[in-house]
Amino acid sequence: MIRFRPLLVMTIFSVVALAVLIALGRWQWERYDEKTAAAEEPVAEMTIENYQPIQDAIQFVHGVRTDTREQGWRVFVPVVFGDTIVFVDSDFIPEIAPPNPDEVRVPALLRGGAPIRGASIRPEPPAPLTLAPRPLQRLWFAVDLGAMGRNGGLENVADYYIASSYVGADGRAVANPFALAPGADVLPPARHLGYAITWYGLALVLIAIYFAYHISVGRLSFRRPAPPEQG
* Segment 65-79, tens digit of pLDDT: 877 888 999 999 999
Give the pLDDT of residue 202.
Answer: 96
The 3-state DSSP class for residue 7 equals coil
CA atoms of 143 and 75, how far apart (whole Å): 11
Give the pLDDT of residue 226.
Answer: 64
Angle at the Cα of 189 from the Cα atoms of 198 and 125, rounded to 5 degrees: 95
Cα–Cα nearest to 178, from 88, 56, 113:
88
Residue 62's contacts (CB-CB under 8 Å, 6 or more residues apart) are: 71, 72, 73, 74, 131, 139, 140, 141
What single letter denotes the amino acid at residue 117?
R
The count of other CB atoms within 10 Å of the CB of residue 53 is 19
Burial 188-223 (b: 16+ CB within 10 A, else e): ebeebbebbeebbebbeebeeebeeebeeeeebeee
Give the pLDDT of residue 2.
Answer: 84
* Segment 207-216, tens digit of pLDDT: 999 999 999 9
Q: Which residues of the chain have pLDDT under 50?
A: 181-184
CA atoms of 44 and 56, how far apart (whole Å): 29
Give the pLDDT of residue 184.
Answer: 43
Angle at the Cα of 70 from the Cα atoms of 181 and 189, rounded to 5 degrees: 35
Cβ–Cβ under 8 Å, residues 176 and 163 = yes
Residue 170's contacts (CB-CB under 8 Å, 6 or more residues apart) are: none
Q: Is the pTM of this model over 0.75?
A: no
